[in-house]
């Protein structure tokens, strides 16, 4: 991945952060209402409301209200999986092929190795 310009990674990181925030909002609505006073729920709603307003015209009316964030996240996933690689010329072989997710997985792997070596 190092052969690609930095702007590709920045663009993917932004799209990935939006996508995962929308997924987080959907996950939170499984356990509580969107008007909850819980800090994290308010943060998810505040961060994702602008995106939800953009997707409102193309969101099917029959879709449950709680599924709207997941529907919008699907568009970001599709853009990251199909459109961005096509435009910038890199292959996506799975979720860990995305720059954002591969960096997170690498960080978790290194953290696990560090913890394992310290416990020995």
Give CA–CA dist 63/56, Å, rounded.
11
How sure is the predictor about 118, in pLDDT bands with cuts at 50, 70 and 90?
confident
How sure is the predictor about 61, in pLDDT bands with cuts at 50, 70 and 90?
very high
- Six-digit token string for 40: 């994290």
Give CA–CA dist 51/22, Å, rounded.
9
pLDDT at 72 over 70: yes
Q: What pTM value is reported for the model?
A: 0.76
Q: Which residue has the higher pLDDT, 63 or 112?
A: 63
pLDDT tens for 1-51 read 556 678 877 888 899 999 999 999 999 999 998 889 999 899 989 999 999
């Amino acid at each position: 991945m190092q052969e690609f310009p930095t702007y590709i990674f920045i663009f993917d990181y932004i799209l990935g952060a939006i996508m995962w925030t929308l997924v987080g909002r959907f996950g939170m609505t499984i356990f509580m209402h969107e008007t909850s006073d819980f800090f994290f729920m308010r943060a998810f709603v505040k961060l994702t409301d602008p995106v939800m307003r953009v997707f409102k015209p193309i969101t099917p009316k029959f879709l449950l209200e709680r599924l709207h964030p997941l529907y919008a996240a699907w568009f970001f996933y599709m853009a990251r999986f199909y459109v961005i690689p096509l435009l910038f010329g890199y292959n996506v072989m799975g979720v860990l092929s995305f720059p954002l997710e591969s960096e997170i997985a690498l960080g978790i792997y290194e953290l696990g190795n560090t913890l394992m070596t310290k416990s020995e």
